[in-house]
Every structure is written in C-alpha cells, then in structure tokens.
Structure 1
Amino acid sequence: MVRAPPRRARERRRGAWPRVAVLAPAVLALLAGLLGGLLRAGVALPGAGAAALPWQAFAFHGALMTGGFFGTVIGIERAVALGRPAAFAAPLASGLGALLLVAGFPAAGAWLMAGGALAFAGVSVAVLRRQPAAHTALLLAAALAWLAGTAALASGRALASVNAWCFLFLVVTVAAERLEMTRLMRRRRGAQGALLAILAALALGAAGSALDGRAGTLGGCVYGVALACLAIWLAVFDIARRTVRSHGLSRYMAVCLLLGYGWLLVAGAAWAATAAGLPWRDAALHALGLGFIVSMVMAHAPVILPAITRIRLAFGNGFYAPLAVLHLSLAARLAFGHRLPAVKAAAALGNVAAMLLFIAVTAAAARAWRTRAAALARRS
C-alpha cells in the first residue's frame, strides 16, 4: 500500500511548479550558451555548420550565459525573496529573450532581455525599500549595471562595454551577498568603505570601456585593477577564511569561494593586460566567467536551489568532483590554450563537462534526500 503524501508536501510541490516553469528557459539558455562556448573554443561539433541555432548560440554566447542563464536564475531568486508573483515577470522576460536570441530574432530577444533587466531593477528597488541596507543598495546597483549592459546590446551602441556591464552585474551581486555574510564577522574599520570604493571604480571602468582611444584603454585598465582589488578584499574580509576549517557543506562552500577569489585576481590582471593591448582576452573573460562566477554558483547552489524549487538536497563529497574538473580544465585552458588550439578545445569540453556533472550531482543529491526522507517516513 502506497501512502499519499501529506497535504503540506503536496502543496509545496504544487507551489514549486511555477518557479520550475520560469527556470526552464534559463536551463535552455545555459545549454545554448555552452554550445556557443564550445564553438568559440574551436570544438568541432557534428552538423553545426548546417544548422542556424548553433551559430546563433556562437554569436550570443556571452548574453546567453550572463543574462539568459545567470540573470534569469538571480531574477527567480529575487522574486522568491520578495514574495510577489509580479516579480517573476523579470526572469520570465530575460529567459524568453534568450530563447529569441537563439531562435533567430536577435533584436526582439535583446530588447526583451533589456525589458527583463528593467523589471529586475524595479524588483531590486522593492527589495531595498523593504530592507534598507548596504547590501540591498548594492543589489540595486548590480541590477542597474545589467540594465546598462542589455540596453547597450539591444541598441547596438557602446558594444565595447557590454561585457564589462554584464559582468559588473554578476560581480556586484556576489559582492553584495558576501557583504551581508560579513555581518557574522567582526568587520575591520573601513572595510565597507573600501568595498564601495572598489565597486565605484568598477562602474567607472565599465563606463570608460565604451570610449575610444586612450580613454577606453584607461577604462579597461581601471576595470581590471578594480577586479583584482575586489579579489583581495574578499580574500581578506570574507567569512570563508574561517568556514574553510569547518566540515560538510560549510567547508565545501568556503573552498568554492576561495578558489573563485583566486580566479578573480587572475581575471583582473588579464582584463587590465587586455586593455593595454596584450592578447589575454580569453583569459580575462573565462577566469571571470568560469573561474569566479561558476565557482560562486557551485558554492551557493546547494542553498539557493532548494529555496527556488523547494527541492531539498543531501550534500555529499560528490560535489567536489565537478569543482575539481572545472578548475583543472580552466587552468589547462588558460595556461596552454593560447598556444595550443587542441588543448583549448579539450579544456573547453572539460569546462562544459564540469557544469553538466554538477547538474548530475545535484540531481543525485535531490534523489538521495527523497530516498532518505521516505525511509524516515516508513520508520515513523
């Protein structure tokens, strides 16, 4: 005889379906973005030359990853935190905009994504009004950076600064979340002021990146130096320095964070070098996008995903496997990929494998939780 699930559990599952439905375009954007990334890295994919979708993914790889996936997921998280159904309009628009990009409607997709960023800024204003604090003000600043990046992409103007603005959105979002966590520590005097100065320099560098000539070069250099300074700030003041000595999920999160901060330092140096004319663009973009941002996702997903989907996870050491694959493949890509195209392609496959493995490990953790919960229910 199979017992019917308790009423509260059934209601929790029903309430999760709208969130999962909004999450679906983000997953599709992620898959398309990964496909585009492989093509950009020189990976030969069967049939890619005969289809339009892979080349749309190639052209809009950055927008699919930063806005279509990360922006949509962050938008869902923010909508859940606000608790208003209308707030889901932001991630829905950005997710659908990403799908239009790969479907061959770039103008409509870019403008819809910009509309999602505008709605997300409105949600961030509501969050700030509900909880006035330094970290919620930074979350609003991050939303405005995303709006600037998507507006530049949609209008075709200031394209040189699109990456800078979109990465600024993600970087400031992470910094805001970590600033909130430092409330648990005894913060040194001037630490918050230093962080705000670094983030202001990042915004100044992003704005300057759109300019021509020496001003654009200076803007890129300022942006890179600010990224490096942010890495140092996080390494010094973040609670991860303490929690890395703990056990279980807390230690895993700290390892992800500290590795990410190391790649952020590399990204800052590479970004400034690229602005100065050195051929380090791939290192700058992927040390930041993969080494830092994806590490932050791997760190926070075991906590954020249950809040978004109401699917609980049983943490295990298996989460370290995709983390190791990600960082080893990224190190190989940045160390040898600029001289050896075959290594770059193989490392890009490793980058993608790490993210797909992380999804598989997360799914296994969800199954393990359900199995464990069912066993406890039978015993009771």
Structure 2
Amino acid sequence: MRPRRALHPAASARLARPLLLALVALSLLGGVAGGLLRAGLPLSDALWLSHAGLEHAALMSGGFLGTVIAIERAVALRHRAAFIGPFMSGLAGLCWLLGYGAAAAGLAALAALAFVAVNLVVVRRQPAAHTALLLLGALAWLAGNALFAAGIAADAVLRCWFAFLVLTIAAERLEMTRLMRRRPGVEASLYLVLAALLLGAALSALLYGAALAMLALWLLLFDMARRTVFAQGLSRYMAVCLLGGYGWLALAGLAWAATALGFHAARDTALHALGLGFVVSMMMGHAPVILPAVARIKLQFGPAFYLPLALLHLSLLLRLGGGFVNDSLRAWGAGLNAGALALFALTLIGAAFAWRRRHGATGARKLP
C-alpha cells in the first residue's frame, strides 16, 4: 500500500478556516440565545439552550470574542502554532453548549495560556507600548479563565474578562493614534488609568468602575475619532462607532461603581453598557478594516452600515432605560440587541457580495 500523503499546509489552512468560523458562529449564536433566555424571552426548552443561558458570559467573552481576537493575533503572527489557542477557545465554546462545563473551562484556560505565549512573541518582535498592553490584556484573560476554572471569585472573573477586552481595544486605539501629537503626560495618564483598571479587576469593583469612567473620558478627549468624525465614508462611520462606544463606556463605569456601592439595580447597565454598548460598538467600527485582513473578505462600505449601529444604540436605550421601569421593556430591548447583531452580520454579507459584484472574481484573487 502507498503511504498517505500529508496535507499540504495550504490545504490544511483551507480546512481549518471553516472549522474555526463554525466554532466562532456557534459560540456567538449560543451566547446570544443564552442572553435572550436570561433576559426573560420565552425560548424552547432544549437542553443546549439551558447550558447557553448558564454560560452566557463565558460564551460571549471567551468562545466568541476571545476566539476572534486570538485569530486576529494569529494571522498577524503568521505561524500555524498561533492558531492552537483560538481552536481551544472555540472548542471550549462548543463544550459549554454541550454541557461539559469543566472541560470547557480547562480548554479556555489553556487557550488563554497559548494566547499569552503568542503575545510574548509579538512583544519580542515589536516592543512597543501597544503590544505591551495587548500582552497585559492576554494575562487578564488568563487570570479570569483560571479563576473561572477553579470555580471561585465570580465577580473578579467578570472584571478580568472585561479587562481583557478593554485593554485590547485601548491597545488598538493607541496603535492607530501613535503618530498623533499629544501634550506631554497625556499618554502617561492613559497608563495610570489602565493600571487602576487592572488593580480594580483584582481587588475592587468600585475602583474598576472609576477606571472605566476615566478611560472613557481619556478616549473622548484624546482619541483621533474627535477629528475623523468630520471626515467622509468609512472614516466617519468608524468615528461614530467609537464615540458612541465611549459614551456607553462612561455609563458602564458609573453603573459598575454604583453596583459596588450597593445599587444592585445598576448591574445590568454595568454589564451590558460595557459588553454591548462599548465592545460591540468597537467591533462594528473595526470590522470593515479587520475582516478583510483576517478573513480575506473584501467589503463594499455603504450607508447601510449605520442601520445595525443605530438599532444597537436604540435597543440599548430601551433595555437599560426601560428596564428600570418594566421587565418586558428590558426583554424587548434584549431581543432588539440580538436583532442588531443579526442585522450587522447580514450587512457584512451584503457588503461582501456588493464588493464582488463591483470588482469581480479577478479583484477577489488579489487578496493577500
């Protein structure tokens, strides 16, 4: 018998990409469905859905966003071993949905450990302030996943998971604005705020909330979005996403501090103004730039991108404002939050088809 030939690296990459995409999609769909269930919307009594409701935060922060961020970093590193981490976090999402919570938590911790290793390589290759912040974000994810796997300090787990996302976004904004001229001490003040955020993640919810609010103020004052909002096209759209997200970040910080002081009705605002209002706004703003680089899909930008963004903000106002008055308004708002994510996914698909219609298959082959 002839020995089997090993898969060519390009062929294995073509097989790996759809699998990773499927794992990301499963975590996103499960996380959204679990969030709707927790918000009180009547869904089916399927067993996987009860698992999704129980592990909603883990699915969204680790199975979905953690995997997406790890894929982005692996693509930038251009080494196949860098994809081990996102595969493990993607598999963790699948295990959470199937009810294997202990296995999922272990996989998530290993994924974060692999992600830290990737970021160490990135820092060694490109020593800079933003890569150091990316490494700190990876360490925050590892700390949160380790605590989660150990089954202790639930509030600290959430603070660590969000610190991972916030530090990653802050690092990306610092990288994109590194050529801006700033007054002496401005960048140092950012590092002080982020140090307070990490200290708050470990020790104090009150300090954590104050640091989030201070970070929002810093971004509103010094991020280049204040200037690019007056531009045209994609630059203006990204700026609108960013500035709106910074507003939600400020509200999340205030709500987190209020929750720490005993106003527990603000907890939903603290979590979802940060997770949806800030993080998803950043995701919507950066997706037209990052998706072509990571997934090799070109997008035709157009005014339609503003529709899911508007729906996201309006549905959050309904959920977080109306939710104080009426639980049904909170549930409706949560449903429309999910609708905004679905509409954004459809917008991306439509933008990809629009680009292909405009440029044809020849243009698609020019992708790196």
Q: Under a length normalisation based on structure 2, what TM-score does the superposition of the two structures give?
A: 0.94
Matched with 2:76 is 81
Match among 301, 308, 315 for residue 301 of structure 2: 315
| Residue ranges of structure 1 left out of the alignment (5+ in a row) | 1-10, 209-218
Checking the alignment, whether the CA contact within 8 Å between 1:135 and 1:180 is kept in structure 2 is yes
**For 2:344 and 2:11, how far apart are their aligned partners in 1?**
23
Matched with 1:335 is 321
Question: Structure 1 pair 296/16, CA: closer, same or farther in 2 (3 Å)?
Answer: farther
Task: Please tell me the root mean square deviation across aligned C-alpha atoms, in Å.
Answer: 1.6
Match among 157, 164, 182 for residue 159 of structure 2: 164
| 1:12-91 pair list within 5 angstroms | 18-45=16-43, 47-48=44-45, 51-91=46-86
Q: Which range is displaced more, 54-63 or 17-26? A: 17-26
Deviation per CA, 1:255-292: give whole Å up to 9, x if none: 00000000000000000000110021000000000000
1:375 Cα shift?
8.5
State yes or no: 1:96 paired with 2:91.
Answer: yes
| Residue ranges of structure 2 left out of the alignment (5+ in a row) | 1-8, 364-368
1:20 Cα shift?
3.7
Q: Which range is displaced more, 367-376 or 309-318? A: 367-376
Which AA in structure 2 matches 1:33? Answer: G
Q: Under a length normalisation based on structure 1, what TM-score does the superposition of the two structures give?
A: 0.91
> SS state of the match for residue 178, structure 2?
helix
Matched with 1:356 is 342
Matched with 1:194 is 189
Question: Structure 1 pair 376/122, CA: closer, same or farther in 2 (3 Å)?
Answer: closer
1:23 Cα shift?
2.4
Q: Which range is displaced more, 135-144 or 335-344? A: 335-344
Match among 180, 200, 225 for residue 210 of structure 2: 225
1:123 Cα shift?
0.3
Checking the alignment, whether the CA contact within 8 Å between 1:198 and 1:230 is kept in structure 2 is yes
1:329 Cα shift?
0.4
Identity of aligned residues (%): 57
Checking the alignment, whether the CA contact within 8 Å between 1:110 and 1:153 is kept in structure 2 is yes
Higher RCO (CA 8 Å, separation ≥ 6 residues): 1
State yes or no: 1:261 paired with 2:246.
Answer: yes
Match among 170, 180, 184 for residue 175 of structure 2: 180
Question: Structure 1 pair 179/43, CA: closer, same or farther in 2 (3 Å)?
Answer: same
Match among 123, 127, 130 for residue 128 of structure 1: 123
Deviation per CA, 1:141-198: give whole Å up to 9, x if none: 0000000011111111222211100000000000000011222311221111111111
Matched with 1:235 is 220
> SS state of the match for residue 177, structure 2?
helix
Deviation per CA, 1:212-240: give whole Å up to 9, x if none: xxxxxxx1110000000000011111111
**For 2:307 and 2:89, how far apart are their aligned partners in 1?**
31
| 1:134-145 pair list within 5 angstroms | 134-145=129-140
